[in-house]
């Protein structure tokens, strides 16, 4: 962890906070006293802000990064996908609340619009078929 330590060693105060403390402050997980202390140092504050920015970027990138596209979900709801794609999505929505909600919404929309897609694959369930 030496490299990580060096990365955060710009603090003017030699007894400055460690990288993990800065992380905690960036995550709002530090004690209020501690985060006040850290944010009082312009150098540390800048690093906390940098961390927060990075985390936001990371979150934006990772958010639904492994999710199927809305088109795929719509096809899924209409039973237009092949067996393999369908089982991939079935598995995905058991672990992804975002997609599960989207599928649910799509199914509701389908029904309220009275979309007449009633192919043999129509009976796709949101629940895993085990």
Candidates 83, 98, 97; CA nearest to 129 is: 83
Q: Say how far apart CA 75 and CA 52 lie, in whole Å.
A: 37
Q: Which of 39, 51, 67, 126 binds Zn ion (CB under 5 A)?
A: 67
What 3-state DSSP class applies to 62?
helix
Kindly determine how many residues on this chain lie close enough to bind Zn ion according to the rule CB under 5 A: 4
Residue ranges in 24-53 that form contacts with Zn ion under rule CB under 5 A: none
Binding mask 69-98 for Zn ion (x = CB under 5 A): ---------------------------x-x
User: What residues contact residue 73 under an 8 Å CB cut-off, 6+ apart?
Assistant: 89, 99, 102, 103, 106
Kindly tell me which of 62 and 113 has the beta carbon lying closer to Zn ion.
62
Asked if 99 touches Zn ion (CB under 5 A), the answer is: yes
Nearer to Zn ion, 48 or 90 (CB): 90
Q: Rank residues 18 and 94 by Cβ distance to Zn ion and give the closer one.
A: 94
Q: What DSSP letter does each residue of 45-57 carry, written as one string?
A: HHHHHHHHHHHHH
Min dist. Cβ of residue 76 to Zn ion (A): 12
Kind plus residue range of the DSSP H or E element containing 24: helix 19-26
Task: Give whichever of 97 and 120 is closer to Zn ion, judged by the CB atom.
Answer: 97
CA dihedral 107, 112, 118, 119 (to 10 degrees): -30
Q: Please, what is the minimum distance in Å from the beta carbon of residue 68 to Zn ion?
A: 7
Q: Which stretches of the chain bind Zn ion, using CB under 5 A?
A: 67, 96, 98-99
């Amino acid at each position: 962890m030496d490299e990580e330590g060096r990365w955060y060693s710009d603090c003017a105060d030699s007894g400055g906070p460690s990288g993990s403390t800065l992380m905690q402050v960036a995550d709002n997980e530090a004690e209020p006293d501690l985060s006040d202390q850290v944010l009082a140092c312009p150098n540390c504050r800048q690093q906390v802000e940098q961390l927060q920015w990075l985390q936001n970027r990371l979150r934006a990138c990772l958010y639904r990064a492994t999710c199927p596209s809305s088109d795929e979900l719509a096809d899924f709801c209409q039973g237009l996908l092949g067996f393999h794609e369908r089982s991939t999505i079935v598995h995905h929505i058991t672990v992804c609340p975002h997609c599960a909600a989207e599928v649910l919404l799509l199914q509701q929309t389908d029904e309220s619009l009275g979309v007449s897609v009633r192919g043999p694959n129509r009976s796709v369930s949101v629940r895993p078929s085990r």
